[in-house]
Structure 1
Amino acid sequence: MAAILNVRATVRRYRLPPAFADELIKLFDEHVTEIHSRTRVSRSVLSVKTQERRATALCKAFVELRKGGFALQGPWSLKEKHIRWLVERWVAQGQSGGTIENKLTYLRAMAHWLGKKNLVGTIGDYVDRKEHGLERSYIATEDKSWAAHGISASEKIAEIAKTCAHVAVQLKLQAAFGLRREESFLFRPLEAVRNPDRLRITRGTKGGRERDVPLDAKFAILEEAARLSNGFTGSTIPESYTLVQWVDRYKTVLKKHGVTKKGLGVTGHGLRHQYLQELYESVTGTAAPIKGSGSRPEPGLHEEAMKRVVEAAGHSRVTKANAYLSTFALQERISRHRPTGEEIGRALEEAGGNKSHAASALGISRQALYRALGASKAQ
């Protein structure tokens, strides 16, 4: 039997008016487990984690609307003007396109429950994506791996281990098996090893989608994780921490060692990118497209590598691999277009100095922009 969210406790946390909260609870009780998709129909239910994200995002949206001066009496009062106001507010706050689209997905699901199927559009229906730097692509334009930033994962993790052994072993798991952050937190070494060749990832997965990843004889990391495992839960989170508390601890340790976008330019997630890029190269004998080498493998090997990467990453569509690997076509297009110093200066001026927005306007990656800036300074 699928787990169901305690919607009453979730909604009550937001102190909405009693009648409003009751209507919201009724809607959630009836629909919060349903998968909502424009492209498919599914009889399965959402994971509890996704149910909570959906319910929390919707409650927060209504709180924002009421604080913004909209006297909504209940969820049934939701109108197009409310959605537009929310999107404009989120854009003004500098939220990313992906974050806003996720929130709109939750609102779209609710609109469907309310019988208002065409109520919620996409970001582009409310603001100019290009003007606000909100163009979203599922093809990587920037290499997020630690190696691409000149960082030795083993050396940096050894440095972090001196501060916290648990964070270090979680980073090792991410690097060795391509685990997401929460997967490494909830990983239970003693239950994950099913045979000498494969590792079963079941906890903390996206959408509750379990997967197997190659073990590749990396037993030393598993032994270290087992030694540090929580005696009560079996996970790598220390006994004195809850999951929420551990997320804060983990972020604090990484920040101390510069593992942030503002610091060294990388996050822990970059280890997952690096693992999947290395997996691609191990299958094809050719560097992933994002590396920009220009060499291509045989089509059959490329297809096999894409399949292996997406399976190891825990996604359902092969094209999702492009988010980690990029594509040869895109990299060729980027390499052909080398903006002049004058074009770069104009783009930066129009973007108010924001390098991400300037790179997007120029049609190049942020890394390519930094390289171009470095070259112009050297001249």
Structure 2
Amino acid sequence: MLVTVNVHALLSDYRLPADFKRELEVIFLDNVNRVHSRTRVSSKTLSVKTQGYRLQKLCRSFLELRENGFALQSPWSLKEKHIRFLVELWVGKKQSAGTIENKLTYFRAFADWISKPKLVGTLADYADRKEHGLVRSYSALEDKSWEGNQVDAIAILTAIAQTDPVVAMQLKLQAVFGLRVEESFLLRPRESVRRDGLLSVTRGTKGGRDRVVPMELQTSVLEEAMQYCNTLSGSTIPDGYTKTQWKNHYYDVLKRYGVTKAGLGVTSHGLRHEYLQQMYKKLTGVAAPIKGTGEKADIKSHREAMLQVVAAAGHSRPRKANAYLASYNSVAQQKSAAITFEQAEAAIVTASGEKKAAAKSLGISRQALYRILERK
């Protein structure tokens, strides 16, 4: 049986005209669980949470149109000028590129529902990304791993295990298999171990992309997880908890032990970053670019490692690996941006005027040094 959000109840929260709501309700009911994604590979319908979030953003946007003088009599009357106005409004409110792009994705789906598939363009069609600071970076600008933040994972997990062994076990699953938080909750240890030595990850994945990850010598973690399997579902969520209840408990425990950005400076997601960074180092022999060691893998090894990292992470596009590892270019740009004109000038003096030596001492390229000198 399909589970869908309560559309009528959701619409009651918005002060839209009655006729407009009735038409929206018909459109929503016919399409609420439809997937609109170029990268999703699963045939599963959207979760109730995602359905609700998408419809809420659409309703809020229609409300914004009416509040700003667009008296739309029907959702079927949506035009390109309305989308353009909304983007200009969101840009004016300093909303991030990611937030605006998500909203455009929701309207792209809505446009399909009302048989206007070419109605909604990309963010670049409505606003100059550079002028408004809407250029998105797909490369990590900071190391989010526990190791990179000098957090002793073993000590923290040992402490948590004393009071909440299930939470500690789920953190271990994330650390040794690179699982997302929800994937560690929904993993069924007894069903997921394959005869070929791989672990099958099929529940809680992003975009419905199932994957397999190597178990290597981490069977002890799976054996521990098997001791805590839910007697009904087989997942690692303890008996007596719904997923939402367990998620709340999980984050309460992490907060208690300081595993937050405001506390130790890391979240549990940092364990996934660490797993993928370690995989890159194992495949190439050098640290991931985000580590800033200055070492570089040869181009062939780097590209092959990026493909394997992206597959292990369960993403659809190779560039997504940069979100965990960073790119050499982004690290270099970030490093040079932090160097002042005065520091560059001092390095040149110390190097007796040799710019190549000065650049090396600063850990940047000679071309980057020239760019810094041009700032003044």
The change in CA–CA distance for 1:106 and 1:5 in structure 2 (over 3 A counts) is farther
Letter in 1 for 2:143: D
Q: Deviations over 1:262-289 (max 9, x none)?
A: 2222211111111001011111111111
Distance in 1, matches of 2:89 and 2:270, equals: 30
Q: What residue number does 1:300 align with?
A: 300
Q: Deviations over 1:292-340 (max 9, x none)?
A: 1121223332222112111111112222212211112322333334332
Q: What residue number does 2:50 align with?
A: 53
What is the deviation of 1:235?
A: 1.1
- SS of corresponding position for 2:213: strand
Contact 1:196 1:217 survives alignment (8 Å): no
Q: What residue number does 1:148 align with?
A: 148
Larger Rg: 2
The change in CA–CA distance for 1:11 and 1:88 in structure 2 (over 3 A counts) is farther
1:328 aligns with 2:325: no
Contact 1:11 1:59 survives alignment (8 Å): no
Q: What residue number does 1:358 align with?
A: none
Letter in 2 for 1:6: T
Q: Choose 291-300 or 69-78, whichever is displaced more.
A: 69-78
Q: Choose 17-26 or 268-277, whichever is displaced more.
A: 17-26
The change in CA–CA distance for 1:127 and 1:165 in structure 2 (over 3 A counts) is farther
Q: Choose 22-31 or 234-243, whichever is displaced more.
A: 22-31
The change in CA–CA distance for 1:201 and 1:88 in structure 2 (over 3 A counts) is same
Match of 2:4 among 1, 6, 31: 6
Q: What residue number does 2:98 align with?
A: 98
* Alignment of structure 1 residues 62-77 onto 2, 5 Å: 62-63=59-60, 65-66=62-63, 70=67, 74-77=74-77
What is the deviation of 1:144?
A: 1.1
What is the deviation of 1:174?
A: 0.8
Contact 2:7 2:29 survives alignment (8 Å): no
What is the deviation of 1:199?
A: 0.1
Contact 1:65 1:86 survives alignment (8 Å): no
Q: What residue number does 2:340 align with?
A: 340
Identity of matched residues, %: 51
Q: What residue number does 2:360 align with?
A: none
Distance in 2, matches of 1:319 and 1:245, equals: 34
Aligned residue-pair number: 337
Distance in 1, matches of 2:187 and 2:35, equals: 26
Distance in 1, matches of 2:337 and 2:92, equals: 31
TM-score (norm 2): 0.77
The change in CA–CA distance for 1:263 and 1:81 in structure 2 (over 3 A counts) is farther
Distance in 1, matches of 2:313 and 2:285, equals: 20
The change in CA–CA distance for 1:182 and 1:204 in structure 2 (over 3 A counts) is same
1:109 aligns with 2:109: yes
Distance in 2, matches of 1:33 and 1:126, equals: 28
Distance in 2, matches of 1:237 and 1:19, equals: 44
Distance in 1, matches of 2:92 and 2:251, equals: 26
Compute the RMSD of aligned alpha carbons: 3.3
The change in CA–CA distance for 1:133 and 1:283 in structure 2 (over 3 A counts) is same
Q: What residue number does 1:179 align with?
A: 179
Contact 1:58 1:107 survives alignment (8 Å): no
Structure 1 portions without partners, runs of 5+: 344-379
Q: What residue number does 2:188 align with?
A: 188
The change in CA–CA distance for 1:45 and 1:294 in structure 2 (over 3 A counts) is closer
The change in CA–CA distance for 1:217 and 1:239 in structure 2 (over 3 A counts) is same
The change in CA–CA distance for 1:229 and 1:110 in structure 2 (over 3 A counts) is same
1:164 aligns with 2:164: yes
The change in CA–CA distance for 1:146 and 1:60 in structure 2 (over 3 A counts) is same
Letter in 2 for 1:206: K
Letter in 2 for 1:306: M
What is the deviation of 1:45?
A: 6.3
Distance in 2, matches of 1:34 and 1:280, equals: 36
Q: Deviations over 1:85-124 (max 9, x none)?
A: 7557766887653233223211121123324445434455
What is the deviation of 1:182?
A: 0.8
The change in CA–CA distance for 1:28 and 1:340 in structure 2 (over 3 A counts) is same
Contact 1:283 1:305 survives alignment (8 Å): yes
Distance in 2, matches of 1:207 and 1:329, equals: 29
Contact 2:24 2:75 survives alignment (8 Å): yes
TM-score (norm 1): 0.76
* Alignment of structure 1 residues 1-379 onto 2, 5 Å: 4-6=2-4, 9-15=6-12, 19-20=19-20, 22-28=22-28, 30-32=30-32, 34-36=34-36, 47-49=44-46, 53-63=50-60, 65-66=62-63, 70=67, 74-79=74-79, 83=83, 96-123=96-123, 134-195=134-195, 197-340=197-340
What is the deviation of 1:4?
A: 4.5
Contact 1:80 1:120 survives alignment (8 Å): yes
Letter in 1 for 2:155: E
